[in-house]
Chain A
Amino acid sequence: MTVDGVTVTSPLISVRDMRVTYGDRLVSHVPELDVYEGECVALVGESGSGKTSALLAILGLGDFSGATVTGTVLINGVNVVDAPQAQLRRVHGTAITLVSQSPQAALNPTMRLGRLAKLSLKQHGVRGHEANVRIADALARVVLPDEILKRYPHEVSGGQAQRFCIALAVALQVQCIAADEPTSALDVTVQAEILRLLDELRRERNMAMVLVSHDLALVSTLADRIVVMKDGAVVEVGSRDEVLHSPKSDYTRELLAAVPVLGVTS
């Protein structure tokens, strides 16, 4: 593709007219969205506005919660909306993976973290020494001690569980992280570390990110582009600066105004 004489690589993820419905209730509609390598796109908006639903549909996991997804979502040329399982296997954990909203519930209660990490890498053909090195490296990046591998999910704090999920994505070396509220359980110093980490991953490995968050201030530090959602619809899409400094929709303005600031009691 060529824009203004400059060659642009094709997008990693390309969404067209994607609709997510539960029964006959449309909960999320994304008309058009492209995510390029190394780019961070954020979905923000009201609770229940369909951000998580959209993210899962983009991952090709819409069916998981009983949702019906229509439209197209191309990842590495695979339309994950209706791809057969054999093709999805080449997308999940390779092109894209998930970092979920509720940290502890996202991990299997009966499996030690180390075993989950090992199994995940093995699923993608990485084993033995190489797997150990990757896991150790990933843990170091998300600031967790190796000893955590021996624990069960209920034996780690919420923040530690979330960082472990991010470590899995790092160890798998995916091209894109789909993150649902990745830092909502982290304290601000660790959150800052994670944001920095995600930013580094983006720079070093050209990793793309689709970030769902309700925290506009947080999103504004990391995202290149922001998609604002309300009641299942996209009300605004724009570059970070456009959305923050010249918001077009009323809802975006409302969101910006409601951000609490330390030392200013509302």
Chain B
Amino acid sequence: MTADLLRADGVTLSYAKRAVVHDVSLELPKGPTGVALVGESGSGKTTVARALLGMIEPTSGRVMFGEMDVSQFSRSERAEYRRTVQPVFQDGTEALDPRMTVGKALAEALSVSPDAHLRGAARASRVSELLDDVGLDGGIVDRLPHQISGGQRQRVCIARALAVRPKVLLLDEPTSALDVTVQAKILDLLRRLQHEHSLTYLLITHNLAIVESLCSYTAVMFAGRVVEQGPTREVLLSPSHPYTASLIAALPRMGGQIPTAVGRADVGFAESGCSFRMRCPIAIDACLASPELASIGGRHVSCFRANDVNGDPSIVNSKEVTP
């Protein structure tokens, strides 16, 4: 028995028999709450989201929606689940039907929502309310996806997901194409909805600075594995895994130098032992073995030297010679 709304239970996920996500567990509790999934490009974040949506079946492990296994759904259960869990995909161009105007796309979403009974003027006003929420003006309804700007497309996707009045939103880079002022507006909206409707968010993002405002819990992925997870403030402000530390060191700072990418990303990742080994500035011989995701304080970290990192991001800059 759990209070989790949606949960990945040790899932391994593959494309064409190539496993890209290994043994990942993630819990999305009942809202209002948010879980952030951050990490390297290609580390499998979107893939995890796809699995949570039932779009790919785990090769091992399960995805649970309440007490039900997502892969064993009946038709009506699936419909219910589709209404409860809504995705906002990374790439607005791919997610929107190129032949469908913005207005049509929203109307279609409304037709499966609790607002399906709305007709005529009431429906139109709901559409314009949705557009207004995401800061778009009503004139956009007659345009096709390729006739609007990248940021506008992204906001249409958000509006479409919100139209369904879901309980869980899977947000894959929801603001990556938005300037900071619009982003701030969207974040405000999401935060307000989170509290008003007790929503749960899974936020996938490269923008660590926006994580905190929506998510109290954060998981960091590297090479298909969760390497660190725990309360957002702890993970991001005092990281315990060298990869998390390098993420934070790589954030661009206003007016600053081009940030140093620590542990150059071109090295790739190790196939055996700790996958971060080849880029890790503090690797030791023990790292030839695979570290377990072990609990340290309030969080889980998979690193033999987690205690040495201990919240000090600058460790990744140390020229320390490994023993």
Contact = CB atoms under 8 A, between A and B. Distances in A.
A/B: CB atoms within 8 Å of each other: yes
Interface of A: 22, 44-49, 52-53, 65-66, 101-105, 140, 143, 145, 155-160, 180-181, 184-193, 195-196, 199, 214-218, 220-222, 240-241, 244-245, 254-256, 258-263, 265-266
Given A181-B177, A259-B254, A262-B209, A192 B261 contact: yes
A47 B258 contact: no
Given A189-B40, A192-B260, 17 more contacts: A47-B151, A48-B152, A52-B150, A105-B91, A160-B41, A160-B42, A180-B150, A189-B247, A190-B265, A214-B180, A217-B254, A221-B258, A244-B255, A245-B255, A260-B209, A262-B248, A266-B187
Task: List the 6 shortest-distance A-B pairs measured between CB atoms, nearest first.
Answer: A159-B41, A47-B151, A214-B179, A105-B93, A260-B209, A192-B261
Contacts of A216: 180, 254
Contacts of A143: 264-266
Nearest to B137: A48
B278 interface: no
Interface in B1-26: 15
B41 A158 contact: yes
B30 interface: no
Contacts of A102: 91-94, 150
A53 B257 CA distance: 29
Contacts of B38: 187
22 contacts: A45-B179, A46-B179, A48-B148, A48-B151, A48-B152, A101-B150, A102-B93, A159-B41, A181-B150, A188-B252, A190-B41, A214-B179, A217-B252, A222-B258, A241-B255, A255-B179, A255-B181, A260-B184, A262-B251, A263-B212, A266-B184, A266-B213
Given A159-B42, A221-B259, A263-B236, A46 B182 contact: yes
Contacts of A196: 258, 261
A159 B45 CA distance: 12
B268 interface: yes
A157 B181 contact: no
B206 A47 contact: no
A47, A195, A217, A255, most chain B CB atoms within 10 A: A47
Contacts of B15: 155
A157 B177 contact: no
B90 A261 contact: no
B147 interface: yes
Contacts of B179: 44-47, 49, 214-215, 255
A65 B255 CA distance: 35
A172 B212 CA distance: 41
Interface string B229-272: 00000001100000000111011111111111111111010000
A217 B152 contact: no
Contacts of A185: 41, 90-91, 173, 176, 206
Interface string B101-133: 000000000000000000000000000000000
Contacts of A240: 255
A202 B254 CA distance: 21
A184 B184 contact: no
Contact of A192 (B151, B207, B252): B252
B99 interface: no
A218 B208 CA distance: 13
A19 B149 CA distance: 17
